[in-house]
Structure 1
C-alpha cells in the first residue's frame, strides 16, 4: 500500500519550489511528478511546501536541474543523479553528497576520502596547499574542498569570516592557471547548511589528464603531478600515473577511430580539415580561410547538443556562403549520415514526414540527451524490427554510451514512458476525446492537452485531431522558456509512437 502524505527529500522539495516559481504549474499538476509505487504524494503536501510550512529553508532548484528532472522524472534514480550533476554546488545537492546531518552541532556524515577535503577556515595565504588539493582532485575523479567544517569531528562550524565569500574567483583562476596546465575546471559557492555558512570549491575531473605543476610555490614543485588519495593529496604514485597515461592513450585512439569512421561515412572526397592555429580549411575541393579574428571565438558543438537558445555561440558563415536547401534527412554521403537534433527527431514524427533515410534517425538516438523520443515510427519507415534496430544502435559510435544503452534496453523490453493517471487528468481527457478546444498558446492549457494525449490508448487516438494539436504545441513551446512543456511534448510524441507503431506482439 502506498504511504500517504509521504515526506519529500530536500532535492525534491527544491524541484517543487522551482516548478511553483515558473508560474506554469498548478499545485494539482505537480504531485503526480513525485508519486511512485509505495509513496503517494498528495496536493496537500505541495501546498505545505508552497507556504513554507515544511522544509522552508530549502531553496528552489536551478533551471537546468528542473529541466533535467522533467526529462527523467519517471526514473527516480536517474532524475536524482541528473539533479546532482547539473549543479553540484546547489545546497540540496551538497547536503546530499556530503551526507550532512542536522543536530547540535550539525555534522558531515562522511570521512575525508579521495573526493572530499575539509577545512575549518579559509585564508588566501594557504593558496598553494589548496591548489595542490584542487589539482589532485582534477587528476582523480574530481571532488569538494569544503571550508567551515572541523577536520576531525566533522562538525559543521561555519565560516567565521566573510573572506571566502568576498574572494574573487578570477584571482583563484589566475593563480591556478599560472601554476598548472592544462587549465582546471572548478567553481566556488557559499551555501547554507543547517544555518551554517559553508564554503565549497567543486573541481571537475580534468578532460586532459594529467594536470602538471608548471611553477614552484612551496609546497608546489614545478613538473610535479598531484593526485588525490583517500584523506590526502600528494605527488602521484607510479601505478596511478600509468593508469592515467593509459587512459589518455586509449582516449586519443578512440578519437582517431571515431574521426576515421566519420570520414568513412562522409566520404574522403567530402571531408575537409580545419587548422585552428591559422584558420585554414583544406579539402579535396579546395581551401578557404576563417578570419584569424574569429578563431578565439570559435566554439565546437558537442555532437547531439546543438541549441539555438543556450550554450556558447557557434560560428556563423555569412556573405557568399549559401546553404543547400535539401529535404531534411536526405543522404549526405554513401552511408546516409544526417545531422539531426532532438528537435528535428520530434518535428519529423509530428509531421509524419516520409524521411529519406529513417535508419539515420534511429542512429541519432545515440547522440541526443533525452531518452524518450519517437523510435518505432522510424523503424516502421525503415521496415525493420527491434533486433535490426538494436544492431544499428550497437554499431553506432557515440559520446553518450549510457544513452545508447538506454535506447537499446527500451527496444529489448518494448519500454515506453509511464502513462499519467487517466483518473487524475479525467477532465482534460474528456475535453480531448470530445474534441473540445484547447488554448495551446496558454502554457497551462497546453500542458493539460499534452498530459491528456499521454493517457490515450491506441483505439482512442484520432490522428487527424491529435497530431495538428501536438504540432501547435511544438511550434509554440518546444525549446522555449518553459522546459517542462518541452519534456511534455517529447513524452506525448513518444506515447503516440508507442501506441501507434510499436509492434503489437511487444504490447
Structure 2
C-alpha cells in the first residue's frame, strides 16, 4: 500500500523520481515554518546540476510537492545550518564571486533600439521607480522604504520613469553625494522601528541611476510615527505591485499572524531550553534594560572568557553600523572574584529630544539627567521632564548633578544652576522670531513651510513666557514639526536652536515650583 501511495504521489508530481530528496523536503518545510523566504531557502539547495526554483518551494509549502513528508525537527535544521558551507559559484573560467549590489541592479536593465535602456521587468512589489529625487525632500523615498520593509524588501530606482521603466538618469550628482547618515536621519524622523537599507549609484547606458536597497524587517510592522508629505501619523505602508500604499486588512492580518507565530515559536524554544537546564540553573537577561536575573546570585564569567570580551566603557564606545551591541549595567564578576567593569546604557542627544517631545516614560530617568552633564556637548537639553519621572525636587536634582564625575566643570556648574533656577534657556529674539512669538501667543500656530521658517519658530519658542504660556501639547507638537522639517532639509546646524527651545519648554511646563 505504501508503495502504491508513493507511486500515486510521484505521478501527481509529474515524475517517477524527484530531484529533491525527502530529507531536503523536510528541511525546506522546517525553514518555511521559521518564516524563511523562498529566495533564502534556494540559497541552501540550488546546485548547477539541480536548480530549486521558487515555484518548487511554493509547491512544498502548499503540500503539492513531496506531499506527506513531515518537516524536519528544529534540532535537525539547526544542525544542517550549522555545518552548511556554500560552495563557490562556477563560471566558464572557474569560480565567480557573488554579484555586488551594483551588479544586481545593473542586471535589471536591458538595452532597446537606439541604445535606449529600460527596466526589463517593470515595477513590481519589489521594485519601485522614481524619475527624479530631491535630496531636500526625501519623504517619497522614506515612504517607499517603509512599504518595502513591511513586505519582502526590494529596491528603489532613481532616474527611471515609473510608467515605462525607461532610464532617464539623475539630473545632478546630489543623490550620489547624499550622506547615508542624512538619509537615515530622515527615515528615523518618520519611521519606527528603523528599517535597514543601503544606497548607491550605477551607470546604465551612460546615465546615472541611483538605488536604495531595502531589507525586509524581521519584526514587522514599520509604522509612521511622525507625519510628513504623504506620511500620515500611525500609518502602516505596504509595497503592492507598482505602488506603496496603506496596508489592506488581509495583509495586515497575515503580517501580524506571522509575527505572533514567530514569537510563540521563540517562547516555546526558550521554555524547552529552561526545562532542559532546570529553572534553578537558568538566568533571564532583559535585553531592553540590561538587567540580568540569576536566581539571586551574582553573574560570574570565567577569566579566560573575560579576557576575550570587549566591554563598553563610558567615553570609549566606537559604533559600528549594523553591529549588535550588548549593553551591561552595573558590575559582573569573574570566576576568581575580581569585578569586571561594565558599561552604562548608551543615550544620545536624539534620544533625549525624542523622548521629551513624544512625552515617553524612560526606564532610568536618572541616566538622562546625568547625560545632561557627562554625555552631551550641547548647552541645552531637557532635564526637568526626566526629573519629574524620577520624582526629584530642584535641590535633589542639583545634588544628583553635583555627584556626577566629569571633566566638564563649567557645564556641570551651569546645569546645577539651571536645576536650582539660577540659569534659564529663556531667550527673547528680535525680528522675525519676535513676530512669530507674538503670533503664537495670540493663538496662531501655523506650521513651518520650510527649514528657514522652522528655525525661526524654534527661536521664537525660546521666548515662551512662564506666565500665560500656551498649551503644552500644542507647543511640543509644533517643535516636533520643526525637528522633522530641519532633519529632512539636512539643516543640522539649526538643531541647536531646537535644543534650546526644548530646554525652554522643559522649564516652563515641567520645572518644579
Q: Does TM-score exceed 0.5, indicating one fold?
A: no
Please give the TM-score of this superposition, normalised by the length of structure 1: 0.42
Query: Normalising by structure 2, what TM-score?
Result: 0.41
Larger radius of gyration: 2
